[in-house]
Copies of this chain bind each other. A is one copy, B any other.
Amino acid sequence: MVAGRVMVVGGTHGNERNAPWLLEAWRRHPALLRSSGLGLELVLGNPAAHAAGRRYLDQDLNRSFVPALLDAPEPGDRELRRARELLALHGPEGRAPCLVALDLHSTTAAMGNSLVVYGRRPADLALAAGMQQRLGLPIYLHEQDQAQTGYLVERWPCGLVVEVGPVPQGVIQATICRQSQLALEAALEVLAEARCGALRQPVRLEVHRHLGSLDLPRHDDGSPAAVVHPQRQGRDWRSIGAGEPLFLTAEGVTIPFHPQADQADGAVRAVFINEAAYGEKGIALSLTRREAWPVEPAWGQALQGLARNLQTPG
């Protein structure tokens, strides 16, 4: 593996403004970010969408990193072109290669300061475990969802999403920025430790494993027939039991939660409740199961193997 840096991305979605604000501040004053001695690439994910103040122009950039799409000839789609460009620039074989991608997002859901990990790559799990050890962040493990693929971080050897909320789209809030920075600095600390071959892993990793997503009830014409129940709004990471309020119709009728067969045993917990951008994806919230996993030494070995190729600044 060639040597490379850590890519720190903000503004993958153009209407999420907190991380781009941080990137700009760190560019002007590098001393504001504690980088643990690692070489960083600070990257505005989707500059055109950022300029327009929109999540994306043609399609969601953070669903555009699909191998088949990337291989297609001359995409007309602006996000697909940007995805190719980012890989050509900072992909592991890019001109200024990066080995790790840390993608800073915000959400309108009350997720707090949290991580999203895609699948079970050992290095990702080691990084997430180290961050959780430091800050106690909850982790949403997203996997086995054929409807949602093509995430940016999946195209780098190691990477995860920092997801902070609630904050409206288009709004910068100092507390959201502070949380994002804390998460990033924890990640860099873990990576620096791994780079020295001195990674101290925790005993266990707590994840919220993705079970599936629920859409709002809809009329025949596709328009919503209900909204998230006020007793569910803002209660991300909390358990939801069979029969508990889930949605509320315009007529005031409460629609309770009916778990499916594979969701029935043990507490199910909801995440990304009423995230603004997921309405168009048909997602009102996602369901997870909280699980405590023993941390495997192989995860740390994978992260250390990769991190020893991380460059220092300059």
Contacts and interface: CB of A to CB of B under 8 A. Distances in A.
A228 interface: yes
A171 to B, nearest CB: 5
Nearest to A275: B171
A224 B168 contact: no
Interface of A is mostly: loop
A233 interface: yes
A175 interface: yes
Interface in A246-303: 248, 250-252, 274, 276-277, 279-280
A68 to B, nearest CB: 28
Nearest to A174: B230
Contact of A168 (B25, B28, B276): B276
A171 B168 CA distance: 9
A279 B175 CA distance: 18
A172 interface: yes
Contacts of A175: 230, 233
A36 interface: no
A273 to B, nearest CB: 10
B228 A174 contact: yes
A274 B171 CA distance: 7
A131 B6 CA distance: 56
A206 to B, nearest CB: 28
Given A32-B251, A175-B233, A233-B174, A21 B276 contact: no
Interface in A202-228: 223-224, 227-228
Nearest to A175: B230
Interface residues of A, number: 37
Contacts of A277: 170
A238 B265 CA distance: 48
A177 B252 CA distance: 12
Nearest to A231: B174
Interface in A9-34: 21-22, 24-25, 28-29, 32
Contacts of A24: 223, 250
A168 B28 CA distance: 30
A276 B143 CA distance: 33
B228 A173 contact: yes
B168 A108 contact: yes
A125 to B, nearest CB: 31
A251 B22 CA distance: 10
Given A21-B224, A175-B233, 7 more contacts: A32-B250, A108-B168, A171-B274, A171-B276, A173-B274, A174-B233, A177-B227
10 contacts: A22-B250, A25-B250, A25-B251, A29-B251, A32-B250, A166-B168, A167-B168, A168-B171, A173-B233, A175-B230
